[in-house]
Each structure stands twice: as structure tokens, then as C-alpha cells.
């Protein structure tokens, strides 16, 4: 890989991403009611430091300034999510005031010539629906489509790109099996059921939106890992990598693109919990898989890090990368025995996640070769980013590690483009520091620093570098685009 003067394709979009619960605050204003994350934050030990989303970045009140900042950085597109708990506070009747916020936001973006990239679900399920079973029940998928149509009623004339779900793996297995995310359950059966109902919600909503307007660009965002065996010659290590890939990537890719769940993984999980798999299989009704496999236009790819795994426990296991919360959890992998993380000496972020840019190139090539190219589905990197310990100084916020991270991952994207992969754009996660779920405000992903006492925003060195890359549409150009 070279980083000197490599141009991006002319139609490649540069953006940054956020999510409603992580930035908006105003959790009980204008009719919004609890989401599962509001409730989860109140559970002792669930979120680091006892943090919650009540104020967050106060974006609900500061969106105009935030859009102006995006404009200043030269962002072409902005990926945000709509809060279901604002639009349908009880999961049922619609709340006009809640929808109005997104009209104002979208109008502001369009006036700034920034393409709105809308995600319908980034994890803030109305708590009222969780009390009726949440994603473990089929009804929630039906309520989701109704909510999506409310949002389309309001924004269909001004938003073209619609993403149904962000990272259904997190919203199912990390939430209902691993216990790390809201609602914090630790059941294999619930994780399986949630994954199916999330996928069903995706498929039926794509169908419903497509029927409304055939010109919409519709898709889903998945989170991925690149699982490598510690020793490619060791069958136990190869099998551990197969199982990580199967439970993390293929569990969602296969139903969406092939209308089937991966049979090897279904059998692995059956060996662990046959009753859970029986319940999951009973929940898959005739026609569900065809619904889930609706054609899509864009597939969002979130990539943070890979996994090097072994079938045998290393003598010195690597330090865990999970949040420093105190609630008991379990593995988000239903079939986890014999999967061991192996240290390979890569640089790490402040959450102890590996920095592995070449994994992104391999991921994009693989998704294209095995799933999307034949169908003409465009791939877009909808999240990539890292938390580091920024140096706050009088002359700016210095985050050299993030500068290098962005450069390296954009280089990895260009490597995939050079290999013939249709990659339509890149969103850095995140525009600004925000509520990092179970890690609270302790970890900062932004290219813009947020002072949580004053709500002051300060572009970090990485924001200036990103602005420079965007202005030149080239990796490795030299002139600064934006003054600090």
C-alpha cells in the first residue's frame, strides 16, 4: 500500500456518522419517552461511570451549529439515525413533534448541500415495546415497518438513502445474549429470536418502502470482523475462525443475500442449546427468508478490527477488550467454547481494539466477491474509527494516532477500489465524541472534540486532516484545507 497522491473515484462520498441516542440528549423533550437505552443506563453497573444519554452532545438543540461544522469540514454526506422513541414514544401512536426535529435537521443538511444518509434503527427501541418482548417477538418487526412508514411520510420527499438497521449483530447477540448492550439479557434463545425478527423487520421494511417509492436507495448496515486462524495449518484454529466468521458475519449476510441461515452455525449452536435452536426454527415462518432477501441497493459496512483466533487457549490470554462495567455478562457468541483470541502485536486503541487496516481491504473484496458484486449492490463503509487518548493543548487537540488511523483505512479502501470493488464512500465514526454505549463518555471517537461541561466543539487534528483529504479528493496531498 502506498499513501502518496492516490485519487478517490469521482463519485466517492466522504462523510461522518453519528447515532441519535449517542448525541441528541433531550431524552424526555417534545414527547420522547424511554428507549431501552434510557432504561439500561439506570441499571447499576450497566454503563461505565453511571453515564446516560440525557444531555449527551445536546445535538437536539445544537444541530444547526453541528451542520455548519460539517459544512466547514467539507463533508459531502452525514449519516445519522432517527430515534424510534421520538417518533412513536409508546411504540404505537406517532408523535409529530418528534418527527419535526428530523425535518429541521434534514432541511438544514440540504441547505448546506450535505446528503442526508438516514438510518431507521440504531438501537433505541421504545421501552414500551421491550416490555412486550422487544426483538424476541415478531410483533416488534411489524411495529418497525409502521414506524418506518411514519418517517417516510415526513421525510420521503427529501431523503433518498435509507438504511433499515445498524448492526443487527449488536442489537441481537450483544444485547440479548452477551448482556453488554440494552436490554442486557443473557439468553441464547433470545439472541437467536432477536436476530430473526431484526432481519424480518429489515426485509419487510425494504418491501414497504420500495412499494411506496421505487427510486429510494435502500440498504442495511452490518458490522464485520475478519477472522483469521492463528495457525492456518492447525485445523482447530481454522475451525475457530470459521465459527467467529459464521456467528458474526455469515449469520446476517447469508439470509440477506442467499435467503438462508448458515447451516454449519445452526448445527454448532444446536449442539450447545437444542431448545433455543428449536424455538428459533419455529419462529421462522414460511416466506420469511424470501422477505429478508429483498433486493437492496447499498450495503453498509462497519469495520473496526479483526480477530486472530485459536482453538486452544494461549498461555497468556490477551487482555479483554470489553468495557469496564460491573454487570455480569456472557459471550455474545452462542457457540463460544474453544474460541480464543490471540495477541499478534498490532497497535491498539484505547479500548484495546486492534488497528488492522488491511483487514478492511480483505473484507471489502470478500463481500464483493461472495455477496454483492453479482447483484450490483454498492458497498459503502458506513463506520470506521477509533477511540484514542487525545492531547488537549492550547494550540489544538492533537490526535496523531487517529490521523494515522484515518489515512491508513482510507488507503485500505483505495486498495479495494484498485482491486475492482465498487465502494461508494466512507463515513468516519464519529463526527464528534459521544455516548459510547456501555463505555459511557469515557471513550472518545470524534474527529471533533466535545467538552461535556461547555458543549464546545473543537475540530481535532484528525478533522483537519480529513478535511484536507476531502478537499483534494486525494490521499497524500499536502495543502491544508481548513484553518484550525
The Cβ of residue 100 has, within 10 Å, a number of other Cβ atoms equal to 13
What is the C-alpha to C-alpha distance for residues 53 and 35, in angstroms, rounded to an integer?
10
The Cβ of residue 18 has, within 10 Å, a number of other Cβ atoms equal to 26
Q: Site for ligand GBH (CB under 6 A): which residue of 176, 251, 303, 304? A: 304
Binding mask 435-454 for ligand GBH (x = CB under 6 A): -x--------x---------
CA dihedral (25, 30, 34, 36) in degrees, to 10, reads -60
Stretch touching ligand GBH by CB under 6 A, among 91-99, 144-152, 162-170, 408-416: 162-170
Residues 167, 189, 190, 354: which is the catalytic one? 167
**The residue to which cell 490521499 is assigned:** 475
Taking a C-beta distance cutoff of 8 angstroms, is the pair 314, 343 a contact? yes
Nearer to ligand GBH, 408 or 438 (CB): 438
Q: Site for ligand GBH (CB under 6 A): which residue of 133, 156, 318, 321? A: 321
Q: How far is the CB of 184 from ligand GBH (least distance, A)?
A: 16
Q: How far is the CB of 52 from ligand GBH (least distance, A)?
A: 15
Q: Site for ligand GBH (CB under 6 A): which residue of 167, 254, 288, 433? A: 167
Please tell me whether 24 is known to bind a ligand: no
Instruction: Label the pairing between strands 161-166 and 115-121.
Output: parallel
User: H/E element holding 79?
Assistant: strand 77-81
**# binding residues, ligand GBH (CB under 6 A):** 15
- Binding residues among 2-61 for ligand GBH as defined by CB under 6 A: 19, 22
Catalytic annotation present for 167: yes
Give exposure, 364-398, as e/b (b: 16+ Cβ within 10 Å).
bbbbbeebbeeeebbbbbbbbbbbbebeeeeebbe
Please tell me whether 436 is known to bind a ligand: yes
Closest residue to ligand GBH, based on beta-carbon distance: 321
Burial label, 341 (beta-carbon count in 10 A; 0-12, 13-18, 19+): buried
Please tell me whether 441 is known to bind a ligand: no
- Binding residues among 329-358 for ligand GBH as defined by CB under 6 A: 353
Please tell me whether 437 is known to bind a ligand: yes
Please tell me whether 455 is known to bind a ligand: no
Taking a C-beta distance cutoff of 8 angstroms, is the pair 205, 144 a contact? yes
Please tell me whether 429 is known to bind a ligand: yes
Instruction: Find all residues with CB under 8 Å of 152, minimum gap 6, and list them.
Output: 162, 209, 212, 213
Q: How far is the CB of 405 from ligand GBH (least distance, A)?
A: 13
Instruction: Quote the Cα angle for 253-259-263, to 5°.
Output: 75
- Binding residues among 103-142 for ligand GBH as defined by CB under 6 A: none
Please tell me whether 130 is known to bind a ligand: no
Q: Which residues of the chain form contacts with ligand GBH (CB under 6 A)?
A: 19, 22, 166-167, 170, 223, 302, 304, 321-322, 353, 383, 429, 436, 445
User: Which residues line the annotated binding site for substrate?
Assistant: 22, 122, 166, 304, 429, 436-437
Catalytic site positions: 167, 383
Amino acid at each position: 500500500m502506498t499513501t502518496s497522491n492516490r485519487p478517490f473515484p469521482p463519485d466517492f462520498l466522504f462523510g461522518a456518522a453519528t447515532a441519535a441516542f449517542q448525541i441528541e440528549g433531550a431524552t424526555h423533550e417534545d414527547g420522547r419517552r424511554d428507549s431501552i437505552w434510557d432504561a439500561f443506563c439506570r441499571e447499576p453497573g450497566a454503563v461505565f461511570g453511571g453515564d446516560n444519554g440525557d444531555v449527551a452532545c445536546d445535538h437536539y438543540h445544537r444541530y444547526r451549529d453541528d451542520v455548519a461544522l460539517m459544512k466547514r469540514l467539507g463533508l459531502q454526506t452525514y449519516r445519522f439515525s432517527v430515534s424510534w422513541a421520538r417518533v412513536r414514544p409508546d411504540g404505537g401512536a406517532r408523535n409529530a413533534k418528534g418527527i419535526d426535529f428530523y425535518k429541521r435537521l434534514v432541511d438544514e443538511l440540504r441547505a448546506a448541500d450535505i446528503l442526508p444518509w438516514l438510518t431507521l434503527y440504531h438501537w433505541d427501541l421504545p421501552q414500551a415495546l421491550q416490555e412486550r418482548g422487544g426483538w424476541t417477538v415478531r410483533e416488534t418487526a411489524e411495529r418497525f415497518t409502521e414506524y418506518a412508514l411514519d418517517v417516510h411520510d415526513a421525510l420521503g420527499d427529501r431523503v433518498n438513502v435509507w438504511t433499515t438497521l445498524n448492526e443487527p449483530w449488536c442489537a441481537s447477540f450483544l444485547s440479548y445474549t452477551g448482556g453488554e448492550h440494552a436490554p442486557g439479557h443473557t439468553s441464547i434463545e433470545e439472541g437467536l429470536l432477536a436476530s430473526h425478527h431484526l432481519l424480518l423487520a429489515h426485509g419487510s421494511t425494504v418491501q414497504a418502502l420500495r412499494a411506496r417509492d421505487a427510486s429510494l436507495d435502500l440498504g442495511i448496515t452490518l458490522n464485520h470482523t475478519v477472522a483469521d486462524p492463528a495457525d492456518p495449518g492447525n485445523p482447530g484454529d481454522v475451525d475457530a475462525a470459521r465459527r467467529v466468521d459464521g456467528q458474526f458475519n455469515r449469520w446476517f449476510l447469508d439470509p440477506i443475500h442467499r435467503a438462508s441461515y448458515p447451516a454449519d452455525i445452526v448445527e454448532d449452536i444446536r449442539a450447545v442449546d437444542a431448545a433455543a435452536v428449536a424455538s428459533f426454527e419455529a419462529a421462522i415462518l414460511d416466506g420469511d427468508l424470501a422477505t429478508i432477501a429483498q433486493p437492496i441497493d447499498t450495503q453498509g459496512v462497519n469495520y473496526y478490527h479483526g480477530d486472530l483466533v485459536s482453538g486452544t487457549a494461549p498461555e497468556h490470554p490477551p487482555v479483554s477488550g470489553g468495557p469496564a462495567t460491573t454487570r455480569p455478562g456472557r459471550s455474545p457468541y452462542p457457540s463460544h467454547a474453544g474460541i480464543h483470541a490471540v495477541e499478534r502485536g498490532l497497535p491498539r486503541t484505547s479500548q484495546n481494539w486492534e488497528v488492522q487496516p488491511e483487514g478492511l481491504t480483505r473484507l471489502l473484496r470478500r463481500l464483493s466477491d461472495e455477496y454483492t458484486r453479482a447483484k450490483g449492490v454498492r458497498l459503502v463503509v458506513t463506520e470506521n474509527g477509533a477511540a484514542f487518548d487525545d492531547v488537549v493543548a492550547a494550540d489544538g487537540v492533537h490526535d496523531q494516532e487517529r490521523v494515522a488511523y484515518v489515512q491508513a483505512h482510507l488507503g485500505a479502501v483505495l486498495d479495494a477500489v484498485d482491486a475492482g470493488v465498487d465502494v461508494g464512500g466512507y463515513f468516519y465514526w464519529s463526527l464528534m465524541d459521544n455516548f459510547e454505549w456501555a463505555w459511557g463518555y469515557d471513550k472518545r471517537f470524534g474527529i471533533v472534540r466535545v467538552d461535556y461541561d461547555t458543549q464546545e466543539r473543537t475540530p481535532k487534528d484528525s478533522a483537519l486532516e480529513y478535511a484536507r483529504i476531502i478537499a483534494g479528493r486525494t490521499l497524500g496531498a499536502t495543502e491544508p484545507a481548513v484553518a484550525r
